[in-house]
Amino acid sequence: MIATKLTLILLAALLYLVGTGYWFIWLGPDLLSTGTTEAIFSAFTGTCAWMLITFGLVIHIIKTARPT
Q: What pLDDT digit, counting tens, does each position of 10-55 carry?
A: 999 999 999 999 989 988 888 888 889 998 898 899 999 999 999 9
Instruction: Please give the Cα distance from 68 to 63 (Å, whole number).
Output: 8
What local confidence, expressed as pLDDT, does residue 47 receive? 92
The identity of residue 57, as a single letter, is L
Max CA pair span of the chain: 50
pTM, 2 dp: 0.78
At residue 66, what are phi and psi to the nearest 5 degrees?
-125, 80
Instruction: Please give the Cα distance from 34 to 2 (Å, whole number).
Output: 46
What local confidence, expressed as pLDDT, does residue 68 receive? 66
